[in-house]
A and B are shown apart, each in its own frame.
Chain A
């Protein structure tokens, strides 16, 4: 079935096709439509899940974790402030080794408060122990939800997984989506095997227990890390099977027109599709430039990324997030990968942009390309920059004038 749907609806379809048992929920803009759709399907029986509204995201994540630890396939979703409110449980539940899937609909964080997207929310969960996949299209949202369950439930992994989609640009944008039929989805994702995870009479178990001392603590933390690294192979195996069944190919790092490239943009999420348009435009002008997009943020696909960047003269990292006092989060991770892998050559030009839903215009991509080429010619990485136009500054100054009582 091919159907026009929003990213939120695509997420709900992924949940329906995964035959999720349980959805603890708490609505937040721009995620709410996912919960509304699942609520409707749960009522009609089109989705065989029990949906319960919690009183906060912190409680919602707790209930998701304990339900998964009791042995049911569990899904939940949030966004922005909600993800941060749940942060204690985001760090807690991976250690239970009880897999479930969380969709985060990215939205910028307060302050100032906003409804529009960037990736600071989901990057705050970067080191929580959740695995993390980033969608760039509505089709990917649906497919990655299925792949996330497959990867997280893999016997070598057993960790919860975040699937991220960008608020507004994906959550509320309709795109044609190929919806797998139920039988095919079931063949790809068999019923949840809870393995040792259960609470039931006659088989008492203790989960989430305290440890005393650094040795057992380190042991279980390292186990979580090794399980997360095992996600690379589990994702690859799942993606191979997915490609065979559905014909759509997923890799931890997508490369677009990189074959003969001298330069590449590195970006995540829906705005990477803007970079693809920019690449097409620049190539038409004679540039040898491509796009490298990490689909997987955790586990960090360092080898695939290093492979994708090998041989380039220059790399433009566009961070749709801001680590105040440092710059962009992705920038640091890309530099670490290049250095660790001993990839010789490329200068790296770092930009922060797209905060709070701010657009990144084609002309800005062109300018970033010129900056990295100049830097490559000089053999020196330039200082990081924040994208902002003179016109934006003029508009903001006008708002400030109003705020200061100057009127319009």
Chain B
């Protein structure tokens, strides 16, 4: 294991195994996470896709991946990974595939599938101890179908399906903790705009057998309503404000890899929220102090307990 291989940006591979010119939206935060993932895992990788934004990455007759790809369905990409992983193991065991021709098997899924329709098959794959990677690009809604609420939509956001003056009433599902309750080999939250943190986590996971699960915050210009040039800025604010805790579960322990500055010294969540159209109703025509206080309060309480 070489988690020290990545100390700074200059240590990151610049292989560009994921080609440019894909049909993803300009400023897609999820695509950046996929690009880093592919570069760090290398070209001997097969992506098993669940229905979502990324489904159109490979559109006949093109694929942007130097590795392999299969599109399955919305609910069962982890089961698709199971079939491939098992088949590769059988082929190696029976001498029909050289061990050096083995592949990393990666599920690629959005948050809608990960939190909802695909949660059962994800849970099943973790139960079975499947040796695979699972990358959820979390744009906090069903991005592919116009940003309807998903179980990952944050409290107070406006979605395409819930028009309420105060935004979505529910809380974002804690998918990371649901995974951790399964005691997988590895789980982490990541951000493409903390690439060194992402690379170190993925490198650490590569040394482990079993389910290796990642949720990447994926700022979504078309769904969250902000200018594509703000993607990086927003992703960083999400971490610095404490809204997107960068976590890691390994060896039975959860730890924070990039905690924000202490309360009072970190940027208020407002700085992150006010840049996004999905939260505009919290500021105009008048400020919704109650909801803003809810969101800030939840972040402060989280870090108070995390400390």
Contact = CB atoms under 8 A, between A and B. Distances in A.
A22 B92 CA distance: 13
Given A200-B103, A210-B55, A212-B59, A88 B73 contact: yes
B72 A24 contact: no
A54 B78 CA distance: 10
A206 B87 contact: no
A63 B82 contact: yes
A87 to B, nearest CB: 11
B128 interface: yes
Contacts of B71: 207-210
Interface in A86-125: 88-89, 92, 96
A204 B83 contact: no
Given A21-B90, A210-B71, A201 B44 contact: yes
A255 interface: no
Contacts of B284: none
A64 interface: yes
Contact of A52 (B69, B101, B128): B128
A386 B78 CA distance: 45
A56 B84 contact: no
Interface string B43-79: 1101010000001101110010111111111011111
Contact of A50 (B65, B69, B90, B127): B90
Given A21-B94, A209-B58, A70 B76 contact: no
Given A56-B120, A62-B80, A69-B70, A209 B63 contact: yes
A234 interface: no
B150 to A, nearest CB: 20
Contacts of A48: 94
Given A63-B79, A66-B70, A66-B84, A210 B124 contact: no
Contacts of B121: 55-56, 58-59, 62
B86 interface: yes
A21 B87 contact: yes
A55 B126 CA distance: 11
A52 B78 CA distance: 14
A72 interface: yes
A205 B68 contact: yes
Q: Which of B86, B88, B101 has the most CB of A within 10 A?
A: B86
B68 A204 contact: yes
Contacts of A216: 60
B100 interface: yes
A168 to B, nearest CB: 29
A65 interface: yes
B154 to A, nearest CB: 29
Contacts of A68: 83, 87
B87 A71 contact: yes
Q: Interface on chain A toward B: helix, strand, loop, or mixed SS?
A: mixed
Contacts, number: 159
A159 B91 CA distance: 21
A96 B84 CA distance: 14
B103 A65 contact: no
B86 A52 contact: yes
Contacts of A199: 46, 68, 70, 84, 87-88, 103
Contacts of B128: 52-53
A200 B80 contact: no
Interface in A200-222: 200-202, 204-212, 216
A42 to B, nearest CB: 12
Nearest to B79: A59
A96 B123 CA distance: 26
Contact of B87 (A62, A70, A88): A70
Interface in A321-367: none
A369 interface: no
A199 B55 CA distance: 19
A144 interface: no
A59 B43 contact: no
Contact of B76 (A59, A72, A202, A209): A59
A231 B44 CA distance: 36
Contacts of B3: none
A68 B91 CA distance: 12
A50 B89 contact: yes
A59 B82 contact: yes
B72 A208 contact: yes
Contacts of B89: 50
Interface string B79-118: 1111110111111001011001111000000000000000
Contacts of B73: 58, 62, 88-89, 92
A63 B80 contact: yes
A63 B72 CA distance: 10
Contacts of B101: 200-202
A74 to B, nearest CB: 8
A291 interface: no
B80 A211 contact: no
A60 interface: yes
A201 B55 contact: no
Contacts of B58: 206, 209-210
Interface of B: 43-44, 46, 48, 55-56, 58-60, 63, 65-73, 75-84, 86-91, 94, 96-97, 100-103, 120-121, 123-124, 127-128
Interface of A: 21-22, 24, 48, 50, 52-56, 58-60, 62-72, 74, 88-89, 92, 96, 199-202, 204-212, 216
25 contacts: A55-B121, A56-B121, A56-B124, A59-B75, A59-B78, A59-B121, A62-B72, A63-B83, A65-B72, A66-B80, A66-B87, A70-B87, A71-B87, A72-B91, A88-B73, A199-B88, A200-B103, A201-B102, A201-B103, A204-B63, A205-B69, A208-B72, A210-B55, A210-B58, A211-B60
8 pairs of A and B residues whose beta carbons are closest in the complex: A55-B124, A59-B79, A66-B83, A63-B83, A70-B87, A67-B83, A62-B76, A67-B87
Given A48-B94, A50-B89, 9 more contacts: A21-B87, A22-B86, A50-B86, A55-B79, A58-B76, A66-B81, A67-B84, A67-B86, A70-B87
